[in-house]
Amino acid sequence: MKILVTGGAGYIGSHTCVELINAGFNLLVYDNFSNSSRQTLKSVEKIVGQEIPYIIGDVRDEAALENALIGCDAVIHFAGLKSVGESVVKPLSYYDTNVYGTLCLLRAMQKLQIKKLVFSSSATVYGNPEFLPFTEKHPLRATNPYGETKLVVEEMLRDLYVSDSTWAIMILRYFNPIGAHESGLIGEDPKGIPNNLMPFIAQVAVGKREKVSVFGDDYPTKDGTGVRDYIHVVDLAIGHVKALQVLNKTQCTAINLGAGKGYSVLDIIGAFNKVCGKDLPYVIMPRRSGDIAEFYSDPSLAKEMLCWEAKRTIDDMCQSMWNFQIKNFKGHEV
Ligand code: NAD
Ligand code: UFG
């Protein structure tokens, strides 16, 4: 089975390429390298010991997608923009890449009669929790343009399935992916100042940044700091392989991929201190605008439908991130 992996050179995409090859799939990466580089695919090649075919292309280029799709059986669609803060400043870019890009992909797939798709959605589609843990039945309500683009695409996919029930679509709602491949060859390597907690902590640990800013310590959580459901990126990648394996049945199903446990910002700093062997300096800052106090998943549907559950611990997540960070002090840019 041959899989087109859009955004396959990115953080989650590159880890998924490794697991796809391990599971015996053929793949073709389709990426414009706007937030990644050829170097990452070379690292994937080193891990799996074989060449990774790729096409440099944009998901908004329908004709190029049609060519890329020839001979493929299914698509995993990672390509997109993912920064909540940036989406508030540049909403049209987000609608263009995430919504229009997906529309182009779906049209190209329809033209070639390729109707198996795994789509990267996000827990952000749940908005402020009405209850926790989030089950897939929780009402959907985006609170920023990035989340809105994920929600619009989810709706587009559900409408498509209603119109043609021969499609097999898995919408995967990721919680907070962190960590890196155990080889230390691939991991999260954001350009500029990291927006997310884990890469920021790792850069403080390696001496690239002075201290961690903790955004708020007055939330109604166990220690006042924000609580999230962190999931090891390798577990997440394996979830995609499992999703592909159930796409032999036509459906349009949304599934949470999370570990089902909440950890606070201070928990994560504490866990990282243990693996890097020092007490990382941090400072309490005001709350970050738009942040939710606490959310975590109910992962039982993934267990039932995909026979998948997150196996790796918070310590594994921090250890692998630290390993990646010390091996890649300057990051991947070449
Ligand atoms: P990433 O930025 O590392 O990877 C995205 C990849 O898509 C990059 O390689 C980038 O070059 C490529 N890309 C971007 N725009 C493109 C375009 N127009 N045409 C072709 N390629 C393009 O991000 P990631 O963390 O690996 O996220 C992958 C997907 O998962 C995204 O859709 C993201 O919204 C979603 N997601 C991520 C998280 C997270 O915390 N990382 C959480 C929930 C959902
Ligand atoms: N935080 C800090 N300091 C930092 C960065 C973050 O204290 O420097 C805190 C945040 O306030 C939050 C927690 O750490 O309480 C996690 O924040 P992240 O920015 O790492 O992650 P988010 O939960 O805000 O969002 C991430 C992705 C979204 C995605 C969501 C759910 O950025 O795109 O997970 O998957 F939608």
* Structure tokens that stand for 105 in this block: 């992909």
Residue-level pLDDT at 262: 98
Tell me which CATH code domain 2-178+231-258+297-311 carries: 3.40.50.720
Ligand 2 atom closest to Cα of residue 194: 8
Can you give the length of the chain in residues?
Answer: 334
Tell me how far the alpha carbon of residue 76 lies from the centroid of ligand 1, in angstroms: 12
Predicted model pTM: 0.97
Residue nearest to atom 4 of ligand 1 (CA): 10
Catalytic residue among 146, 161, 263, 296: 146
* Known active-site residue 146: yes
Average pLDDT value for residue range 110-136? 98
Q: Could you write out the three-class secondary structure of the chain?
A: CEEEEECCCCHHHHHHHHHHHHCCCEEEEEECCCCCCHHHHHHHHHHHCCCCCEEECCCCCHHHHHHHHCCCCEEEECCCCCCHHHHHHCHHHHHHHHHHHHHHHHHHHHHCCCCEEEEEEEHHHHCCCCCCCECCCCCCCCCCHHHHHHHHHHHHHHHHHHHCCCCEEEEEEECEEECCCCCCCCCCCCCCCCCCHHHHHHHHHCCCCCCEEEECCCCCCCCCCCEECEEEHHHHHHHHHHHHHCCCCCEEEEEEECCCCCEEHHHHHHHHHHHHCCCCCEEEECCCCCCCCECCECCHHHHHHHCCCCCCCHHHHHHHHHHHHHHCCCCCCC
Residue-level pLDDT at 328: 87
Is there an atom of ligand 1 within 6 Å of 94 CB? no
Tell me how far the alpha carbon of residue 125 lies from the centroid of ligand 2, in angstroms: 14
Average pLDDT value for residue range 222-237? 98
Task: Tell whether the model's pLDDT for residue 53 goes beyond 70.
Answer: yes
| Nearest ligand, measured from the Cα of 5 | 1
Tell me how far the alpha carbon of residue 223 lies from the centroid of ligand 1, in angstroms: 32
pLDDT category of residue 334 using cuts at 50, 70 and 90: very low
Is there an atom of ligand 1 within 6 Å of 9 CB? yes
Percentage of the chain lying above the pLDDT 70 cut: 98
pLDDT category of residue 330 using cuts at 50, 70 and 90: low
Average pLDDT value for residue range 145-172? 98
Average pLDDT value for residue range 148-162? 98
Percentage of the chain lying above the pLDDT 90 cut: 95
Tell me how far the alpha carbon of residue 214 lies from the centroid of ligand 2, in angstroms: 11
- Residues 271-305 pLDDT 10s: 999 999 999 999 999 999 889 999 999 999 999 99
Average pLDDT value for residue range 142-164? 97
Tell me the pLDDT of the chain averaged across its residues: 96
Task: Tell whether the model's pLDDT for residue 172 goes beyond 50.
Answer: yes
Residue nearest to atom 8 of ligand 1 (CA): 10
The residue behind tokens 């159930």 is: 246
Residue nearest to atom 28 of ligand 1 (CA): 78
Residue-level pLDDT at 333: 38
Is there an atom of ligand 1 within 6 Å of 78 CB? yes
Residue-level pLDDT at 240: 98
Ligand 2 atom closest to Cα of residue 84: 33
Verify cis geometry, omega within 30 degrees of 0, for the bond prior to 220: no
Is there an atom of ligand 1 within 6 Å of 258 CB? no
Residue-level pLDDT at 162: 98
* Structure tokens that stand for 35 in this block: 């937030």
Residue-level pLDDT at 226: 98
Average pLDDT value for residue range 68-97? 96
Task: Tell whether the model's pLDDT for residue 61 goes beyond 70.
Answer: yes
pLDDT category of residue 192 using cuts at 50, 70 and 90: confident
pLDDT category of residue 331 using cuts at 50, 70 and 90: very low
Task: Tell whether the model's pLDDT for residue 332 goes beyond 50.
Answer: no
Task: Tell whether the model's pLDDT for residue 29 goes beyond 90.
Answer: yes
Instruction: Report the range of poorest mean pLDDT among 48-62, 224-238, 315-329.
Output: 315-329
Protein residues whose CB sits closer than 6 Å to any atom of ligand 2: 82, 84, 122-124, 174-176, 195-197, 200, 213-215, 226, 228, 265, 288, 291
Ligand 2 atom closest to Cα of residue 225: 15
